[in-house]
A and B are shown apart, each in its own frame.
Chain A
Amino acid sequence: MTAGDFNPHILGFFCHWCCYAAADAAGVSRYQYPPNVRVIRVMCTGRIDLRFILEAFGCGADGVFTGG
């Protein structure tokens, strides 16, 4: 596999009030971005536990993006 066709599997933790809203707004404006991120919505980034991130990598995530 070359870097070109490597499609990373990325998990996102998005804050309901901020980043999740920004992601929605990006949709409303029809901006395009790579389809590699799957999102778990949380009410606040404070909810994010170290365990979640380790678990995600343990489950084979290539990246974890936290959006506040």
Chain B
Amino acid sequence: MIIAEACRQVLKDVGVNPERTALEWASAAEAPRFVELITRYVSAVKSIGPLGKAEGENKEAVIGMHLKAGAKAASALKVRTALGKLAKDIKKSGDYSPGIISEGVTKKVFPAFREERLTQEVQICLSEIGPCKSADLSEKTGGGIKEIGKILETLSRKKMVKKQGSNWYGIGMGNQES
């Protein structure tokens, strides 16, 4: 349930309609319910339309990149630790009410994810497109100017990016996550 909520928030961030995911329960004896759920879900997705197009963005370029960075971010230590900690705390408290879960994800998991996603994406942009202005990076990644600025700063401290004039360059673009 925590994963499902994280998933919704994260998808929104990468520009995918969260209604494209569903978490439903059907017990072994509930075949008709299962059929109803699946049928309803398939038609819901149908009415949303194909991934990317329906989101109003160019699928390959934007969502593709967001998702690529997102998948990497979901493997990142910081994000996973935040998610794991939240799951641990909620289990301990025993309170699984949707409000609590949603608040926990918003406060604890989502910021870590967004920062990591943008960090990944900045690096992907720089390595795939080449040198960019920070405004371009902000537009491509969907991150705010301030957010991107902070990320670039951190990255340059780690000697992953370098600034020359108003352009940013990537250095040795590998995946920094082990």
Residues of A within 8 A of B (CB): 1, 3, 6, 8, 10, 17-19, 21-23, 25-26, 28-29, 31-34, 36-37, 45, 48-51, 53-55, 57-58, 60-68
Pairwise interchain contact A54-B49, C-beta atoms closer than 8 A:
no
Contact A31 B35, CB 8 Å, known A3-B49, A22-B28, A58-B67: yes
Number of B positions contacting A (CB below 8 A): 46
Cross-chain pairs A/B with CB under 8 angstroms, 10 sampled: A6-B46, A19-B25, A21-B28, A25-B34, A26-B34, A31-B32, A33-B38, A34-B39, A54-B11, A65-B24
Complex CA–CA separation, A36 to B32 (angstroms): 18
Given A3-B47, A19-B26, A66-B21: A54 in contact with B41 (beta carbons within 8 A) = no
1/0 per residue B1-23: CB within 8 Å of A?
00110110011001010001111
Chain B contacts to A: CB under 8 angstroms: 3-4, 6-7, 10-11, 14, 16, 20-35, 37-39, 41-43, 45-51, 63-64, 67-68, 70-71, 74-75, 83
A51 closest partner in B (C-beta):
B74
Alpha-carbon distance between A25 and B34 when the two chains are bound, in angstroms: 9
Chain B residue at minimum C-beta to C-beta distance from A27: B31
Q: Give the Cβ gap from A59 to chain B, nearest Cβ, in Å.
A: 9
Query: Are B20 and A63 within 8 A (Cβ)?
Result: yes
User: Judging by beta carbons under 8 Å apart, are A22 and B34 in contact?
Assistant: yes
Contact between A57 and B16 (Cβ–Cβ < 8 Å)?
A: yes
Q: How far is the CA of A34 from the CA of B6 in the complex (A)?
A: 28
Least Cβ–Cβ distance between B100 and chain A, in angstroms: 19
Chain B residue nearest to A62 in the complex (CB): B51
Report the Cα distance A51→B68, complex, angstroms.
10
8 nearest A-B pairs in the assembled complex, by CB-CB distance:
A21-B28, A25-B31, A58-B67, A22-B34, A63-B45, A26-B31, A22-B26, A54-B71
The interface residues of chain A lying within 8 Å CB-to-CB of B47 are 3
**What are the residues of chain A within 8 A of B20 when measuring CB–CB?**
57, 62-64
Q: Given A22-B31, A34-B38, A48-B3, A54–B45 Cβ distance below 8 Å?
A: no
> Given the interface contacts A22-B27, A50-B6, A58-B68, does A65 sit within 8 Å of B49 by beta carbon?
no
Shortest beta-carbon distance, A6 to chain B, in Å? Answer: 6
